[in-house]
Amino acid sequence: MGRKKAVKEEGRKLLQLTDPIAILNLCKSITFLDLKSDCPMDMQYAKTWYNNHYLTGKHVRYVMKQGESIHHYKDGVVYRAHNITDAKAEQLMSENPGYKNLFIDLGPIEEEKEETTEEVEPITEPGLETDLEVEPEENSDSNLDQTPEPDTKPVTEEVIPDQEKEKTTEEVEPEPENKE
């Protein structure tokens, strides 16, 4: 029998979402909150959570199981899936190893590799001078790109003084009452 190679797990990547429903579903899957897509406040909460907790990496790895909570006596906070960060989850698990079974570990996030740029010396052909200095051009008015003045003059309206309007008043006779 041959031995199987151990498959190296690659880190997860942060999901770059733009669809509000997808953001809401991601928030629901990690926080286990009962968020509704037809509620504007729930949609706003999901968007805020996505920008402030998920994209910043505060809450992407450890998800507390649904219905579980930890009352931390040192800081007096009851932690649930929606109000815990990865750093706090790691702290709680290190303080009490029994808390490890309350969390789902989604795995580490793959860190983006920074592209390294090496300085490359320019290739010069033999016989070409490379020590030439370039003289800056002098700015003169003739070199500037000028926009021509328009041929037409702007139209102005002649102001006419207000004329006195005739006031007409109509006298309205009252209608006689019908008595029956």
Contact assessment for residue 66 and residue 29, using Cβ atoms and an 8 Å cutoff: no
Q: Residue 58 corresponds to which tokens in the numbers above?
A: 């505060």
Q: What is the pLDDT of residue 1?
A: 47
Interatomic CA distance for residues 136 and 139, integer angstroms: 9
The beta strand positions in 41-153, using DSSP E, are 62-64, 70-72, 77-79, 103-105
- Tell me which residue of 46, 2, 40, 8 sits closest to 24, measured CA to CA: 46
* Residue-level pLDDT at 72: 86
CA proximity to 86, closest of 9, 7, 12: 12
The tokens for 82 are 């929606």
Residue whose token pair is 């997860």 = 12
What's the pLDDT score for residue 48?
92
Residue spans of the chain under pLDDT 50: 1, 4-9, 165
pTM surpassing 0.75? no
The residue among 32, 42, 36 whose CA lies nearest residue 79 is 32
What does the pLDDT look like over 43-85, one tens digit per residue? 999 999 999 888 888 878 888 888 888 888 888 889 888 888 8
- Looking at residue 74, its pLDDT comes to 85
pLDDT of residue 54: 86
Q: What is the pLDDT of residue 40?
A: 94
Per-residue pLDDT at 7: 42
Using alpha carbons, select from 53, 55, 56, 66 the residue that is nearest to residue 103: 66
Residues 6+ apart with CB under 8 A from 129: none
